[in-house]
Structure 1
Amino acid sequence: MNTSEGCASISDAQGNLLFYTDGITVWSHDHKVMADGTGLMGHSSTAQAAVVVPAPGQPQRYYIFTNANNAQPNGLRYSIVDMSLYGGKGQVIEKNMFLAAPVSEMVTAVQHANRQDIWVICHEYGTNTFKTFLVTKNGVQTQPVISQTGKIHKAENANTTAIGCMKASPDGRRLAVASFGVGVEVYDFNASTGTIFNPIAINGFFNGYGVEFSPDMSKLYYTTSGNIDLMQVNLLAGSPALVASSAVRIANIGQDGAQRYVGGSLQIGPDGKIYVARPTSKHLGVIHQPNALGAACQYVDQGVDLGGGISMCGLPVFVQSFFYYDGELKMTNTCFGEETTFKLNVAPNAPAPLSTLWEFGDPASGVLNTSTQAIGKHRFSAPGTYKVKLTRTFINTLEEYTIEFVVNPLPNVNLGLDRQICPGTPVTLDATVAGATSYLWSNGLTTPTLTTSTPGTYSVQVTSATGCVNTDEVVISLLPVPAFDLGPNKELCEGEVMVLDALPTNAAGATFRWQDGSTKNSFTVTKPGRYEVTVTSPNGCSITDAVTVTYKPLPIVNLGPDRVLCTNDPLTLGTAQTGAIYKWSTGATSATISPTASGTYWQDITINGCTSRDEVNVLFNPLPVVNLGKDTTLCEGQTLLLNAARANATYKWKDGSTQPTLLVNAPGTYWVDVTNEFNCTTRDEIKVYYLNPPTIELGNDTTICNGDVLTIGQTLPDVTYKWSDGSTNATLDVTKPGTYRVTVSLQDICIESDAITIKAKDCVAGLFIPNIFTPNGDGINDNFFIMGLLNPKNTTDAVRWELSVYDRWGKRVYYTKDYRNEWEGKGFSDGVYYYHLANNQDGRLLKGWVEIVR
């Protein structure tokens, strides 16, 4: 635990640690945070942050009183721990119940004079008021006893005057305060009334911190501000004035660290020694003989090695009565069955006897009726009243002590035999015992009875009015029940039947009862509803299960009536439906299909898991076979007979005629509908094209110069040629006289022929220059054509014939540097004209005349 100042711890009567706290968190004995053990409103920097008080008459309960630091508003509060919970590790069951504020940082506790109840004492901050709260078997009395006495704990801005510690003397007769604000004071305390009176202020010291009484209450020790000095006050010095002036310095308190803190706590231990906190140190100081005066008290500054731990300002705060040695015989555990412990309440350092004899007054226990141990322990053989005697022998003295007490019987709690129940059947466990004060079940319930239907081991702890506790337990187990399951709710398709089976696997001989009263182990479902069955095993345990069955509508599938169609007639079967899955007899999974063959077709439609089917018969009758032939091209003037005749047919042509044939003599598209005996109709059509015959002219018969070449023929589109010499070119080069014929064919349909006779003669300079031409537009001899002038074999870009034409008066009327036989005589009147034809390459000059005749 890491706390700068206050802390508290508590152990059981045998010294076993139960829990500890810094005023904020509670840790169990295993050093883990106790259940719900956080959020207490103390403070780790409060001089006395907490004190643990056992609850009178409730051995398993403890109160934790917490105190805020520097007089903060949280003030003095208490929380409750129940050690019977969490397997003895305890649980904080209530937290932070308010008692008083503002208060100084000091709190202490001491037994009431009745040795049962306990006083918890605090000091109001800013006044001279003490508040004393009584803790009884009925809880904490929240109305305190008020005592206004001594110095005022004056308030200041930082509230540091609230710092300090308070202790009651172990015998409950005196109270001491060590305070930053008032120094050190000693008071008388009335353990019967809780009042505080007769203050004595110790002279010479105004800032105190730790304070503690010696075991015999004859001395008072305190530490000063900064934990510098350890002081002793002689409470037996005489008058109050002598007590007030009796303070002496016992020692200067050392520390291992360099920094001085606010102060160090003092705390008496069960060994009768007083321990001194040394902040930031690895040691505690120890006053070995605190009853002795002055240096005889034997203070050792590094008296306890903390084994690597570090001490800060605080030491645990306890109920001071734990350290009161009254010389009386004490005992613990007076309940039958427990071991009762006897101990003489004397100081740990008291002289030891030469011998010890315990006589327990229990002859029925035989040899165990006596003991020579320092502490007497005995388990009594029966409830009843006993008288125990202790004899201690010293050298010159014989001491005898007796104590009479009652061994109380344990509460007679009996939960009965272990039992088996059917699941879900409640059973009531009754632990009622006359005079019992409390009940605690293993599940935390605190009533005399517990009703449960859950299997398990149940135990109860019953406390009697004498505080004795007894326990009993019983095991609740479940009888086997039939094991079956109707399964989850079902959705069926319309018309579907389902069998619900309730036959269990582990309950031979079980009986059944369905919702309609039937008693078979199964039920056939044919309609929607809730179906429930109760199965009862031979041992009487029943289990009920139910299932709700709903019916979904089947999809609507309608493929329509059977069909009789003609081949190639369009047909679509089926329609699309939202959320549907489709399956056809053809294997298709689409919403629709378009059959083209005769047959029986069915479709399955599945929606929400439900499937319906419909089917339809389809017959495709054959179409009549009609063939008008391929599209045809004719030559102008030709005809074509179209024939669609077949048995048992009717006809309808494009022009409306109804005969089986049609004579075509014009271009166009011709169709016929032929209907057979099944009323199935086939249409065929043909396109007929007419071609205009090609026109080919080779011209008039002509004469060429010997040695010249004359090209005859003309290029026509889309035709083929065949000359009389077998050539197939569009033109023919003629070099010899003769008759030449060409046959022109258009798509081998239209054929035309023409012929020309060509003669040959000798020519001047290789040229034949006519002396007449007739430009009348008839296409024959329309221009001044000089044969041989443009012979392809002799014509190059360098050869040019220059032509000059003169009228009869010698005027040049036409001129060109490069004559190409293009002069047509346009604009010239009929008559004779003269020409000069000059070769620009070889200088030849030819002269002559030509006549224009129209």
Structure 2
Amino acid sequence: MGLFAQNETLNWYFGNNAAFNFKDGKIKVLENSAMNTPQGSASISDTNGNLLFYTNGETVWNKNHQIMENGDNLFGDKNNTQSTIIIPKPNSDLIYYVFSTKNQSTNSDGVQDPQAGLHYSEIEISNTYPLGKIINKNINLRRFTSERLTAVHHKDGKSIWLISVGKIDADATVDTFLNFKIDETGVSNAPISSTVEDFRSNKGQMKVSPDSKKIVVISFAFTVYVFDFDSETGIVKSNNIIGLKIDFGSGFGAFGVEFSQSSELLYISTAFFGGSFSYAILQHKMSEPLTGFDYPPIGKIIFQSSKYAPGSLQLAPNGKIYAALSENDSDGNLIPSSKIGVINNPEIVGEGANYAHDSQSVSPGFSSKGLPNFIQSYFASRIITENKCLVDEFSFSADSYSNITNIDWDFGDGTFANGINVKHIYSAPGNYNVKAILTVNNSKISIYKTVEVYSLPSLKSNQEIVECDDNMDGLSTFNLYTIKQKITNPSLDETLYFYENQTDLNNDNNRILNPENFNNSIPNQGIFVKVINQNGCFETTSFTVTARFVSLGTISDFYTCENSDGISGNQIGNFNGRAIATSIKNQLGISDRTSLKFYPSYIEAQTNTNELIGAFSSKTATIFVKAQEADFSCGGIQSFNVIVNPDPIINLQDTYSICFNPSLKPPVIISADASNDRYEWRNSQGSIISVSKDFILDTVGEFSLTAYKAENGLLCSNSKTFVVENPEKAIFTNIEVNTEDETNNIVTVSIEGNSTYEFSLDNVNFSGNSTMFTFNNVEAGLRTIYVRDINNCEELIFTEVAVIGFKEYFTPNDDGKNDYWNICGLNETSFRSINVRIFDRYGKLIHQITNFTSLGWDGTYNSEKLIANNYWFKADIIDKDNNLISKTGYFSLIRN
């Protein structure tokens, strides 16, 4: 929708030589700007929309884009968010005021900047000064201020409020609104003061709502302040806070803000801090409660980007909101952009607001962080109506910043009217540019709005649904929704309601509740339908439901293999619907102009529901084919059978076991089912290794059988994979070596397995018949133990064991018994060398045994008896085969 306010706002000058014109509601890029400003600017046009001048708060350029006479060195700062605003003197066609802001600062000597604060300059545009001249310059209003300025009309509709905010002096800890009334006498020297909380930042936009009821102040510190404003008294009252924190350390730092034209929706441009860094535009509905500092923040995110940073937001004459843009370069620095963003439908909540990112070019100019600043109530003038359907009556009214005394209407279709509230009916659908000339305070304000007259559904009459009749009684079951393809474009998003008579349709009573499964009560029954399009517009018509008896003839059966769907054993197969349709047409001599469709049941064929499309899956079942003529009428319904051939039988196990050495045993033979016609045995590489019915298992691995069987004219197959493996071999569970008796070394072996086993130390002579065996008189040294199952089927197992004994304790009390600790089972015949080191609990070496004749350790150190305690040893022993045997452990010294 296009919506245009009064002409003073039609020309925008901002950024780096960027400029727009909004005349007639069409945005036009201008290439004549002489201004380069990173942030704040303002421009103003006359009541006919002709540019008068523009400024960045430091310099003023006239309509010829030259610096205005005396138009430089204004006490503003173009780096301020809202460095300036232009306000025409009420009841004067000659005088304009340029207000400028500059933050207070001090030099190294502590001297304050004399140019800081809020100042205004007076411009005269007259026959004497046709291009304008500053006749009074840099008149101070307040010494301390923020970067924020906005303005709105007084409640009287004539005077204007200049709204400023900031610290009242250098020592102030809170912020204060100083609102200056501008009327026909000029700028008031007695501002209305309202003290509020500390905003904690001078940066960020401030806006008053077009209806002049709210003021919003942005603070970059995760906060948006909302105030009530009395446009009659100029008093500001604290209302609440919009908190933009996500959690304690992250949130949205706000910069720009703007109201929609109705003042009902608020938009905030932000940078997100915490985790990943990105930029966003938030939307808040002003009728919803504010959150204060609660988490999470309120508002819907309508735009988010890590590259483009939205800056100032500004409502435009067309009712849209524009967003100044900067973008991140490859080094992460913000640079000006050749495009800006636009919120196309700012009165719609959520995604419907339709933010179009970088959609509006400003080339050859560039956008940075600022857009021009205007009197906000200029945008309050608007046409109020809603789009409607053809033949529906439109209601037109308007709103403005002051009382409207008259409106002249041009409805855009060649008809006109006069009045505050008028009605109109359009004769054709389409878009119409409505113009309203408002009389406000004896001034004429021209505003526009594009309205859309929605078309009605276009319906064909005298149509019918023809369904098949199975008994020639003229009655059948119908899917009434199939009429859509006959009476309208079936691709359109339209809703259909059905009735059995015109009266019910007119009153919307007794809708047919099951239109997809409707049974007519009389032959050739008339049905009435209301069709509603996506805009809610409707049209009506009627049609006839007719039942026709048609016999197609007998259809032969169709077959498929059970595993044709890729799954064996589910009794379901795949059928090629296209091939079946071709075969049926050939069988029955049906024309190619007739389409055939398949359904699971007769009633579903009648109602055209649950069609089996293309290749369909089915168990053995009865299927119904429906012949549909070119006019969508029924050309007959006939049943036929689809039959799923069962899988060829395979009765094989998943796993077979053969001996480790199969040549020692009779061969293991498995057999395929004799009912099949052909066999293919394959190895794990997929190579066919046999085509016989029987298969000998003589090696381990993965194998498969594919069996083939011819049935009903089809050769079907079935496959199964199986594994051939050796028996699980036994495992050693425990080996105990006892060398306490120096004349008889004993080794006891325990195993776990699925058979009975024999044991050997030389792999030649085996003994035993169990899972445990004890060897006696075992020669000391590193020995190998062999174990085999008595059936000679499992794999032989073996392990090595060191036949060496380590005492767990000794008692050196000179009684001739167990007085020494040593390693048992060692001698010079079986071993080459020995090195046993004994340590106390602190790791101190206290004894060493290096020869085979040593009695061992007697419990002393440097001839002193050591206390009873635990001691540690490390033994390195080399046998006759040069095998190293290393042992570590501990033992106890016990004294009585």
Report if TM-score (shorter chain) is over 0.5: no
Greater relative contact order (CA < 8 Å, ≥ 6 in sequence): 2
> Which TM bucket (shorter chain)?
0.3 to 0.5
If the length of structure 2 is used for normalisation, what is the TM-score?
0.37
